Structure 1
Amino acid sequence: MSNTDNQNNLSRRNFLRLAGLGSTALCLGLYMPESAEAKVLKEGQIYSENLDVELCAWIIINTSGLVTIVSHRAEMGQGAYHSIAQIVAEELEVDLYGVDIKFAPGDQEKYGNQVTGGSSTIRTSYKNLLKLSATARELLIIAAASRWKVLPTDCYAEMGHVINRKTGKKFHYGELVEEASGMKAPENIKLKKISEYKLIRKPLHRRDTPLKTNGAAVFGLDKKLPGMLYAAVERNPRLRGIVKSYDDSEALKIKGVKRVFKVKMGVHNTFREGVAVVADSTWAAMQGKKALRIVWDDSGFEHINSATIFKRQEEFIKTKEGLILSTQGNPNDVIKKAKKKLDIVYQTPYQAHYCMEPVNCVAHFQGDKVEIWGPIQAPDWVQDYISKELKIERKSVIVNPTFLGGGFGRKAFMDYPHEATMISKEMGTPIQVVWTREDDATQGPYRPGISYRCEGVIDNGEISALKFRMAGQNNDHWRGGKKDVANRSTSEGFLKPYFDSIKSLSFAEVPFETPVPTMWWRSVYASTNGFAYESFLDEVAVEAKTDPLDLRRKYLKDERSQNLIDKMEAISGWKNRKKNEGFGVAITECFKSTVGQIVKVSRNASGKLKIDKVWAVMDCGWYVNPDIIRAQVEGSIVMGYGAAAFHEVHFDDGMVVEKNFHSYQMPRINDIPEIEIHIMENEEDAGGVGEPGLPAFAPALTNAIFDLTGTRIRKLPFDMAKI
């Protein structure tokens, strides 16, 4: 087939346009120009030109009937790899466990935004995936009906076949793709009702679980290339500064060490220097790294300390009004005139991402081309960054995502692919760079530590005004965001219905900067905002002499919130709370999903505080797989528990104190209470799942502790053994 024929066929079978998706193509994650090539998956030339017909860049059906689904987003444990396939298999009418799933390489022109974050994979693409899959199915039915010379309504699709209702004859999809590719796709495709789903909303076993248990899944560390060497890098422990000098004599004595040289990698809008040791094995490279003797020049920037950071933040929120994100009514006037008001400060710490898979990357610099493999959350961003820094055409920067052993925002960073690329450029060979746990822990980026000032006036049991100010690093600034504009995430986590029921309300950011590199962390600012705002609402309820859940019911007047609160109240036995039991509630919104949590605490026989149970209710609207939702909410609660009561990142003289699990303590399995999760059933648009389960836990826990003990916790983390 000639290239001209390919273009003509693509023009005829351009699903995004013929299916009526039009300008929503970028939401689908695919842009298909008239000049697009016929093949999407080229790696290893898996498909030959004369055997495969491309129906679209996300769904490929070959003449044997094999269906390949191209996943445009990373799989880091959140279930996108499986969920995309479950959606497509539903409307395409194929065997979910018989389809092939491939990760898409970085290609923004074909796949649009490929950043895996913001719990966005399903919520931004599910409608188009459903429509695209249904369009492919209907086109195959039309092709079969044409062969049989019957009406399309006389046929139906099932398990990868089109079947004649009258005769029972059938064609498998592969027999129809050549013919279907030349037909005009039907418009106004009718999608299934939720009640008609065979796969969606069913707790089906994940496609990636067997791969991860039998060793077939390829993670970054698994990638090997001919002639590949291995590198370990000693980086500046103070996060900024330069290499003044280094002695590599002992490192070069290590068997297998090839070379030692200085390397620089991009860290947001700055650079970090280090010394790379390249060897014929990771072990040799790491031993060589330990043998280095480096003198650092750390002049020209502040060597920060944690105590200084939070003291400065607290001074800022007490003396500065900050940049207004949003305001309604006259909260300043109401607060100024009030005889009595609440004025409380909350603080949340810096946190590390601590993915179980440490950072790693393979890069092969080839002059006018770079190819990268690894656990990467943002392949299109890596393409942008590398092409700019190395002055290489964007299309010549090939980024191949692997499975990720956790990401949480850290692996949407460009530092480690850039570093691997620069080492490969110096060596002229493929290079795999592996970070140790200590490297990962001490180099960042981190969730920013934040201080909040929350003010409120309660008049005759009613909220008259609320005013919130936060001081913490703004992640937008690293990416060139305007510093005179409030952090767009200042109100993140605070439910939108409150804006309809509270007349005087404002949110402001008090700008605050340090040399510490920060980045998104699971649920981003909702993870810190949620603690401050939901803790404060609990204190408002006490001041108003109102039950905390009733207060939320009073001001969250929309039907979805009311239904969620009804469910929370029913499953937890909230109205039947007993003496010597502490119950706490929090409700937060994150990436278009609302999660309410109730935590129950008590004291054991020896008087120690313990968590008895957590109830969580997730309203994420339309959803795919309930088991994946439950797993994500459970994982979020455990991660939230760690951030609330176990670990934080401290800085001393500009260096990170906690370097590994011995000092950055994690919850153990015996620390985890019973967790009961419920999913609200409705037909609203899909919200996120991977992150929204985290923000509500910390305030629900601390509110429960107050209910039991009368002790109010306003700074995280805290030690439960000391309450």
Structure 2
Amino acid sequence: MSTNQVSRRDFLRVSGLAGTALCLGFYFPSSAKEAEIVNTSGVPKSEVELNAWIHIDTDGKVTIFNHRAEMGQGSFQSVPQIIAEELEVDLKEVNIILAQGNREKYGSQITGGSSTIRGSYKNLLKLSATARIMLITIAAKKWNVPITACYAESGHVLHKASGKKFHYGELVVDASKLEAPKEVVLKKISEYKLIRKPLHRQDTPLKTNGTAIFGLDKKLPGMLYATVERNPRLRGIVKSFDASAALKIPGVTKVFKVRMGVFNTFREGVAVVANSTWAAMQGKKALKVEWDDSGFEHINTTEIYRRQQEDLQTKEGLYLKKQGNPDDILRQEGKTIDVVYQTPYQSHSCMEPVNCVAHYQGDKVEIWGPIQAPEWVQDYISGQLGLPKEKVIVNMTFLGGGFGRKAFMDYPHEATMISKEIGAPVQVVWTREDDATQGPYRPGISYRCQGAIHNGEVTALKFRMSGQNNDHWRGGKTDQANRSTSEGFLKPYFDSIKNISFAEVQFETPVPTMWWRSVYASTNGFAYESFLDEVALAAGKDPLDLRRQYLQDERCQRLIDKMEEVSGWKKRKKNEGFGAAITECFSSTVGQIVKVSKDASGKIKIDQVWAVMDCGWYVNPDIIRAQVEGSIIMALGAATIHEITFKDGLVEQRNFYDYKMPRITDIPPIEVHIMENDADAGGVGEPGLPAFAPALTNAIFDLTGKRIRKLPFDLSAV
């Protein structure tokens, strides 16, 4: 803890204002380990700047600022639930606000990598406990009793013996003068009243009664609307355009060329500005654009995978990890396996289409929208426009899904450039077709997996992946292996299998790629966990027994025990197929078991999915179950229903009619179990996805003897 002292003059000036508050700042430097009391020096006389995580006004009203985006994953509930626990306030009485993008106040606000809770929960607990202790200290002084004679409850400090009490608002003025204690004692897990309880989400009423503000809901005085006709081949440029027909559409006011940044490249298009979204869309349809698509490859899906597999057979690649000498072991006599797995390109396909509101005002620009990474938007736009970062103001709205797509800078940059051109605020709306055909996408990847078995023991594993490296789009080094090559593969395997290597065989296309839910674990997990089933078969071992043998970590052992217990793994019957997979990402481990059978017509049906999550310390079990269920449904679609394909450089899918989603009738019963322990918190929003596809295909093999190594596959045709 560190404390910024407030002078008596500053305190008296601020405390004389309406809405006096104790503002506790929660500051995340790169180490993400420091909490501090916010200094109120320099606050304008007309207002108290709300640059804090916890704001308690003199009426006792508590406001909590959520620093991360809320895109369905539950931060709008979980962050306040943590703070309310140690602060001792009723969550239903707390006002929750989405914080404005401000790295100086909040540190990293990037919502990705399932990092919101695991990256901040310890500091949130300390911060709120600090506030509680300071309030109790003031109450004890007022009563002239020991601090130990007082306690906090429901936004009040009470004296145990007499029952006297103050609400927090009566204490904040004096509490704001205290130096924060350097150490505070946090509650034990057994003492929690709110944390680890399935509390109803605070954003649910807002989203059901229509008061939640999503990007598309944002309106500004004088705001115009725009759509953009973008080059369908991703890297082409505008050769010419005819706007005459578009300008005849009632409401269309202006048509001009625009370009937006796509990481380290630019994409060109023609913007149509109008007084309504509908008019802008009709104007876009009336445009005539001629494109220059020269100078880059017009890629085809079949060619992508042909080249990847050829490279995997002829190139060693760049090693990310290597221990022992798997190559020598694989060359020796014994049983070896050498197979290739393949995963497709995928669209994010968020329920809420991409959109953004921007208002360029010469010396500053303000942005509103469904944004996962406000600081990246600030960095990029300030660099492109030559503005100080503090002059790029980013306001996060609720997101109707994100999955990594809305941590991108392209759509805020495009909206900013359109606003600059027209000299007015503008809302830019992408159609579903824009989203499907423009990307960016999860990269399609091929894997070559090799293993050696001697006397029933695994003696070597060698993995190579060939697929686009998302880091390269951001200027990452091309002489280093993809840092995510081994993502999803559990670390304890390295302790028990002495010869292992992971390498990347580099592969590039003009297709823009980026993070997708669980990032590379979503593709790696399918290859690596499917391959371990093949290894188990070759070694003559039960698939879960093999994992138990080589995952000696205590938490893994307990997770496998739970998987066996809830699924009845050891009581499997004939005509039932059971498949297992265990993956790790973002500091959480998830084991899944899928049970399949054949229906009366002989087609495969999924009877049940059991998921066991070990995410360490956690906040709300209902949110965990919802996130795991959603991850499994998303994984089901990616494994069996949809993919993005390319022909002559064009994306072939355009909307949900040809990029179909799972329907409610496709969803099997899903049972989620949470491991109880006090280990450090892991992620929740993404780790539930990677294990499903391999567990499903392993179950199908168990039932039919058919090994599936290429996704997606048609479940009805197996």
- Tell me if 1:338 matches 2:343: no
- Name the stretch that deviates more: 184-193 or 462-471: 184-193
Per-residue deviation, 1:550: 0.3
Asked if the contact 1:630–1:677 (Cα under 8 Å) also holds between the matched residues in 2, the reply is yes
Q: Deviations over 1:508-542 (max 9, x none)?
A: 01111000000100000000000000000000000
SS at match of 1:686: coil
Q: Which residue of 2 aligns with 1:44?
A: none
Shift of the 298–395 alpha-carbon distance from structure 1 to 2, 3 Å rule, reads: same
Counterpart residue type for residue 5 of structure 1 = D
- Distance in 2 between residues matched to 1:445 and 1:215, nearest whole Å: 30
Q: Deviations over 1:422-458 (max 9, x none)?
A: 0000000000000000000000000000000000000
1:282 pairs with one of 277, 285, 294: 277
SS at match of 1:27: coil
Asked if the contact 1:26–1:113 (Cα under 8 Å) also holds between the matched residues in 2, the reply is no
- Name the stretch that deviates more: 181-190 or 370-379: 181-190
- Tell me if 1:563 matches 2:562: no
Q: Which residue of 2 aligns with 1:233?
A: 228
Residues 162-311 of structure 1 mapped to structure 2, 5 A cutoff: 162-311=157-306
Overall identity of the aligned pairs, in %: 73
Q: Which residue of 2 aligns with 1:42?
A: none
- Tell me if 1:716 matches 2:705: no
- Distance in 2 between residues matched to 1:547 and 1:36, nearest whole Å: 66
- Tell me if 1:552 matches 2:547: yes
Q: Deviations over 1:121-175 (max 9, x none)?
A: 0001000000100000000000111111111111100000001112111110011
Counterpart residue type for residue 230 of structure 1 = Y
Asked if the contact 1:454–1:536 (Cα under 8 Å) also holds between the matched residues in 2, the reply is yes
Counterpart residue type for residue 92 of structure 1 = L
Per-residue deviation, 1:187: 2.8
Counterpart residue type for residue 396 of structure 1 = K
1:420 pairs with one of 410, 415, 418: 415
Per-residue deviation, 1:479: 1.4
Per-residue deviation, 1:477: 1.0
Asked if the contact 1:106–1:114 (Cα under 8 Å) also holds between the matched residues in 2, the reply is yes
- Distance in 2 between residues matched to 1:270 and 1:671, nearest whole Å: 40
Asked if the contact 2:613–2:672 (Cα under 8 Å) also holds between the matched residues in 1, the reply is yes
Per-residue deviation, 1:65: 0.7
Q: Which residue of 1 aligns with 2:624?
A: 629
1:512 pairs with one of 488, 493, 507: 507
- Distance in 2 between residues matched to 1:361 and 1:323, nearest whole Å: 39
- Distance in 2 between residues matched to 1:485 and 1:364, nearest whole Å: 40
Per-residue deviation, 1:688: 0.2
1:69 pairs with one of 64, 69, 76: 64
Q: Which residue of 2 aligns with 1:529?
A: 524
2:32 pairs with one of 27, 31, 47: 27
Shift of the 32–235 alpha-carbon distance from structure 1 to 2, 3 Å rule, reads: farther
Asked if the contact 1:588–1:595 (Cα under 8 Å) also holds between the matched residues in 2, the reply is yes
1:691 pairs with one of 686, 704, 711: 686
Counterpart residue type for residue 32 of structure 2 = C
- Distance in 1 between residues matched to 2:660 and 2:82, nearest whole Å: 38
- Tell me if 1:137 matches 2:142: no
- Distance in 2 between residues matched to 1:457 and 1:352, nearest whole Å: 36
Q: Which residue of 2 aligns with 1:404?
A: 399
Asked if the contact 1:448–1:519 (Cα under 8 Å) also holds between the matched residues in 2, the reply is yes
Shift of the 341–431 alpha-carbon distance from structure 1 to 2, 3 Å rule, reads: same
Asked if the contact 1:264–1:274 (Cα under 8 Å) also holds between the matched residues in 2, the reply is yes
- Distance in 2 between residues matched to 1:171 and 1:33, nearest whole Å: 24
Counterpart residue type for residue 27 of structure 1 = A
Counterpart residue type for residue 657 of structure 1 = E
- Distance in 2 between residues matched to 1:579 and 1:321, nearest whole Å: 42
- Name the stretch that deviates more: 331-340 or 590-599: 331-340
Q: Which residue of 2 aligns with 1:429?
A: 424
Identify unmatched segments of 5+ residues in structure 1. Answer: 40-46
- Tell me if 1:5 matches 2:7: no
What TM-score do you get using the length of structure 2 for normalisation? 0.96
Per-residue deviation, 1:591: 0.3
Asked if the contact 2:34–2:123 (Cα under 8 Å) also holds between the matched residues in 1, the reply is no
- Distance in 2 between residues matched to 1:3 and 1:303, nearest whole Å: 69
Per-residue deviation, 1:505: 0.3
Per-residue deviation, 1:203: 0.4
- Distance in 1 between residues matched to 2:332 and 2:37, nearest whole Å: 60
Q: Which residue of 1 aligns with 2:642?
A: 647
SS at match of 1:250: helix
Shift of the 38–597 alpha-carbon distance from structure 1 to 2, 3 Å rule, reads: farther
- Tell me if 1:675 matches 2:670: yes
Shift of the 270–22 alpha-carbon distance from structure 1 to 2, 3 Å rule, reads: closer
- Distance in 2 between residues matched to 1:103 and 1:135, nearest whole Å: 22
- Distance in 1 between residues matched to 2:223 and 2:27, nearest whole Å: 44
- Tell me if 1:362 matches 2:357: yes
Identify unmatched segments of 5+ residues in structure 2. Answer: 1-5, 16-21
- Tell me if 1:386 matches 2:378: no
Asked if the contact 2:37–2:180 (Cα under 8 Å) also holds between the matched residues in 1, the reply is no
SS at match of 1:506: strand
Counterpart residue type for residue 225 of structure 2 = Y
- Distance in 2 between residues matched to 1:554 and 1:24, nearest whole Å: 41
Shift of the 70–33 alpha-carbon distance from structure 1 to 2, 3 Å rule, reads: closer
1:86 pairs with one of 81, 101, 110: 81
Asked if the contact 2:74–2:201 (Cα under 8 Å) also holds between the matched residues in 1, the reply is yes
SS at match of 2:255: strand
Per-residue deviation, 1:480: 1.5
Q: CA RMSD in A?
A: 2.1
- Distance in 2 between residues matched to 1:297 and 1:524, nearest whole Å: 33
2:94 pairs with one of 99, 108, 132: 99
Counterpart residue type for residue 10 of structure 2 = D
Asked if the contact 2:468–2:508 (Cα under 8 Å) also holds between the matched residues in 1, the reply is yes
- Distance in 1 between residues matched to 2:645 and 2:154, nearest whole Å: 56
- Tell me if 1:480 matches 2:469: no
Per-residue deviation, 1:255: 0.5
- Distance in 1 between residues matched to 2:527 and 2:435, nearest whole Å: 28
What TM-score do you get using the length of structure 1 for normalisation? 0.95
- Name the stretch that deviates more: 471-480 or 284-293: 471-480
1:583 pairs with one of 578, 582, 591: 578
Counterpart residue type for residue 681 of structure 1 = E
Per-residue deviation, 1:339: 4.1
Shift of the 3–650 alpha-carbon distance from structure 1 to 2, 3 Å rule, reads: farther
- Distance in 2 between residues matched to 1:524 and 1:718, nearest whole Å: 21
Counterpart residue type for residue 441 of structure 1 = A
Shift of the 133–655 alpha-carbon distance from structure 1 to 2, 3 Å rule, reads: same
Asked if the contact 1:581–1:601 (Cα under 8 Å) also holds between the matched residues in 2, the reply is yes
Asked if the contact 1:220–1:375 (Cα under 8 Å) also holds between the matched residues in 2, the reply is yes
Counterpart residue type for residue 191 of structure 1 = L
Shift of the 29–120 alpha-carbon distance from structure 1 to 2, 3 Å rule, reads: farther
Q: Which residue of 1 aligns with 2:3?
A: none
- Tell me if 1:596 matches 2:591: yes
Q: Deviations over 1:159-217 (max 9, x none)?
A: 00001112111110011001000011223211100000000000000000000000110
- Distance in 1 between residues matched to 2:145 and 2:282, nearest whole Å: 72
Asked if the contact 1:317–1:452 (Cα under 8 Å) also holds between the matched residues in 2, the reply is yes
- Distance in 2 between residues matched to 1:25 and 1:313, nearest whole Å: 38
Q: Which residue of 2 aligns with 1:463?
A: 458
Per-residue deviation, 1:15: 6.0
- Distance in 2 between residues matched to 1:151 and 1:300, nearest whole Å: 77
Asked if the contact 2:28–2:107 (Cα under 8 Å) also holds between the matched residues in 1, the reply is no
SS at match of 2:515: coil
SS at match of 1:508: strand
* Number of aligned residue pairs: 708
SS at match of 1:481: coil
- Distance in 2 between residues matched to 1:534 and 1:591, nearest whole Å: 17
